């Protein structure tokens, strides 16, 4: 802990006017370097927090935590299997799904899609797709064969040039029970809603009612080829789904495949964590380089203040007092840099979405294209723990950098300095 006298002496040394222009420049550049590193890292981490939050809310809001599929499809008596899954304490919600591939057609325009047949109520309990669908969400899907609706991804609707209320044709394979292929069958559906998540999901996914999907796939009324699960811990989805699958497999009499969101969208989360690690490394490198300026500055001040140090020693100032005085001088530069960096970083992170949006308008380019990414803006979430960690690391490196040249101060001999030798 620094003594008050040491801090006072260090502050007085930092305010002296008898400093060379080079020393002043090095001192200023060290503060600016630390401030730049701290601000950039806070902005980068806030952006990564924002992307992670949007990933969980948007992509993982539509993609189920885990899916169970039979080794020999389909899964029959899914009502009973659903009850078994819900008996597991780690399973929060269950929904049977019929998945099939089809072609959608509208006015001579065709688009291949993945169709998910869902029961609106149970599907809404497993995913948050309703939040991203125009109108009543999955509630637009009807079991009535005369009023069949389909919900399309926004890019599918754009490709087919359709809107809510238009009719489109769903063309699917026609397979006989013996496996023989017949001419494809077309069925008319009304567009009941548009799903807008962002990225490739909007280009591939469509929803219909599970009863309609069963009819198209030729499945029995109480059957499905997938069971979707919502579990307690998103990051333990594979393990928790596996435990539920064991109980279901015993009832179904068949082996089950377990697939969690990690296998389909886990790469996005891993990419965010990798970038976060790179940003921490960048902070250490930037602040370390800036701290070399602190070392250079302290060495120059030490040479300039040799006579003052000798006077302090002759007046009875101890080695620790002199050492702490120069350490506090370096800490002042580090604290000013960290403080400025935190203020700039937090302010810029708070308004990052607006700042990037304004730059895009001025420069005339789109940083994130919604056709390729799941969002078309840069999100930002400032977390106190990130700000504290960044500030603490920067101050810690500044303290170490300040201590090194301060060790040489105590080698000054008062007799030699004051005698002029």
Q: Exposed, middle or buried, 83 (CB in 10 Å: 0-12/13-18/19+)?
A: exposed
Do both 247 and 291 map to the same domain? Answer: no
Query: Running DSSP on this structure, what letter comes out for residue 141?
Result: -
Do both 50 and 88 map to the same domain? Answer: no
39: phi then psi, degrees, rounded to nearest 5: -65, -45
Locate all alpha helices (DSSP H) within 218-260, ordered by sequence.
237-252
* pLDDT one-digit tens code per residue, 95-113: 999 999 999 999 889 999 9
What is the structure's pLDDT at 22? Answer: 64
* pLDDT one-digit tens code per residue, 240-284: 898 889 888 888 778 899 998 888 777 777 888 888 888 878 877
Residue 67 lies in a domain: no
228: phi then psi, degrees, rounded to nearest 5: -90, 140
More confident residue, 291 or 416: 291
Do both 26 and 168 map to the same domain? Answer: no
Boundaries of domain holding 391: 4-59+267-419
Q: Which of 227, 254, 281 is the last residue of a domain?
A: 254
Do both 325 and 364 map to the same domain? Answer: yes
Give Cα separations from 411 to 308, 322, 407, 418 (angstroms): 14, 11, 8, 14
What is the structure's pLDDT at 210? Answer: 93
> Is the separation of the CB atoms in 75 and 227 below 8 Å?
yes
Question: Which residues partner with 167 through β-bridges?
Answer: 190
Instruction: Please determine, for residue 19, whether its predicted confidence score (pLDDT) is greater than 60.
Output: no
pTM, to two decimals: 0.72
What is the structure's pLDDT at 202? Answer: 86
Do both 283 and 209 map to the same domain? Answer: no
Q: Which residues contact 349 (CB under 8 A, 6 or more apart)?
A: 42, 43, 46, 47, 380, 382
b/e 275-300 (16+ beta carbons within 10 angstroms → b): ebeebbeebeebbeebbebbbbbbbb
Do both 237 and 144 map to the same domain? Answer: yes
> Is the separation of the CB atoms in 256 and 248 below 8 Å?
yes
Do both 299 and 380 map to the same domain? Answer: yes
* Residue 236: pLDDT band with limits 50, 70, 90: confident
Q: Which of 254, 286, 310 is the last residue of a domain?
A: 254
Residue 23 lies in a domain: yes
Residue 319 lies in a domain: yes
Residue 66 lies in a domain: no
Residue 387 lies in a domain: yes
* pLDDT one-digit tens code per residue, 219-229: 888 999 999 99
> Is the separation of the CB atoms in 155 and 371 below 8 Å?
yes
Do both 221 and 280 map to the same domain? Answer: no
Do both 19 and 89 map to the same domain? Answer: no
* Residue 230: pLDDT band with limits 50, 70, 90: very high
Mean pLDDT, range 282-296, rounded to an integer: 74
Residue 262 lies in a domain: no
Mean pLDDT, range 182-203, rounded to an integer: 85
Instruction: Please determine, for residue 407, whether its predicted confidence score (pLDDT) is greater than 70.
Output: no
Do both 17 and 157 map to the same domain? Answer: no
In Å, how far from its chain's centre is CA 254? 38
Among candidate residues 200, 292, 317, 244, the one with its CA nearest the CA of residue 65: 244
> Is the separation of the CB atoms in 421 and 413 below 8 Å?
no
Residue 249 lies in a domain: yes
Q: How far apart are the first and last CA of the chain?
A: 35
- State the Cα–Cα distance between residues 45 and 104, nearest whole angstrom: 42
Do both 311 and 211 map to the same domain? Answer: no
Cα angle 286-290-296, degrees, rounded to a multiple of 5: 150
Residue 109 lies in a domain: yes
Instruction: Please determine, for residue 127, whether its predicted confidence score (pLDDT) is greater than 80.
Output: yes
Instruction: Please determine, for residue 60, whether its predicted confidence score (pLDDT) is greater than 70.
Output: yes
Q: Which of 221, 254, 287 is the last residue of a domain?
A: 254
Is 366 in a helix, a strand, or coil?
A: coil
Q: What is the dihedral of CA 323, 325, 330, 333, to 10 degrees?
A: 170
Domain count of the fold of the chain = 2
What is the structure's pLDDT at 347? Answer: 95
- State the Cα–Cα distance between residues 53 and 59, nearest whole angstrom: 10
Q: Which residues contact 63 (CB under 8 A, 6 or more apart)?
A: 127, 201, 261, 264, 265
What is the structure's pLDDT at 13? Answer: 56
> Is the separation of the CB atoms in 68 and 260 below 8 Å?
no
Do both 127 and 237 map to the same domain? Answer: yes
């Amino acid at each position: 802990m620094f003594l008050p006298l040491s801090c006072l002496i260090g502050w007085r040394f930092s305010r002296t006017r008898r400093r060379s222009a080079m020393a002043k420049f090095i001192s200023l550049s060290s503060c600016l370097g630390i401030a730049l590193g701290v601000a950039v890292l806070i902005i980068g981490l806030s952006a990564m927090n924002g992307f992670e939050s949007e990933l969980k809310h948007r992509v993982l809001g539509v993609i189920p935590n885990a899916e169970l599929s039979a080794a020999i499809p389909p899964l029959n008596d899914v009502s009973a299997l659903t009850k078994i899954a819900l008996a597991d304490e780690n399973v929060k919600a269950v929904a049977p799904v019929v998945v099939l591939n089809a072609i959608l057609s509208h006015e001579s325009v065709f688009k291949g899609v993945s169709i998910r047949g869902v029961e609106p109520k149970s599907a809404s309990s497993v995913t948050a797709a309703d939040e991203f669908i125009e109108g009543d969400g999955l509630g637009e899907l009807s079991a009535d064969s005369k009023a069949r609706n389909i919900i399309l991804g926004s890019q599918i609707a754009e490709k087919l040039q359709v809107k809510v209320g238009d009719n489109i044709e769903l063309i699917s394979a026609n397979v006989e029970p013996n496996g023989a292929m017949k001419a494809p069958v077309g069925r008319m559906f009304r567009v009941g809603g548009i799903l807008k998540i962002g990225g490739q999901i909007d280009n591939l996914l469509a929803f219909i009612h599970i009863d309609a999907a069963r009819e198209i796939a030729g499945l029995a009324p109480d059957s499905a080829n997938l069971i979707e699960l919502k579990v307690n811990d998103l990051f333990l989805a594979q393990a928790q789904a596996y435990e539920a699958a064991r109980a279901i497999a015993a009832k179904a009499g068949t082996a089950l495949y377990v697939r969690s969101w990690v296998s389909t969208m886990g790469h996005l989360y891993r990419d965010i964590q990798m970038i976060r690690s790179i940003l921490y490394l960048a902070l250490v490198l930037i602040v370390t380089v800036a701290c070399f300026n602190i070392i250079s500055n302290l060495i120059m001040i030490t040479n300039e203040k040799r006579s003052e140090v000798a006077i302090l020693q002759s007046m009875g100032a101890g080695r620790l007092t002199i050492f702490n005085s120069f350490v506090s001088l370096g800490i002042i530069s580090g604290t000013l840099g960290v403080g400025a960096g935190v203020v700039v970083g937090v302010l810029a992170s708070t308004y990052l979405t607006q700042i990037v949006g304004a730059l895009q308008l001025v420069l005339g380019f789109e940083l994130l294209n919604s056709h390729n990414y799941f969002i078309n803006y840069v999100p930002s979430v400032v977390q106190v723990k990130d700000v504290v960690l960044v500030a603490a690391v920067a101050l810690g490196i500044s303290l170490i950098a300040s201590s090194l040249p301060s060790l040489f101060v105590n080698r000054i001999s008062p007799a030699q300095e004051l005698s002029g030798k």
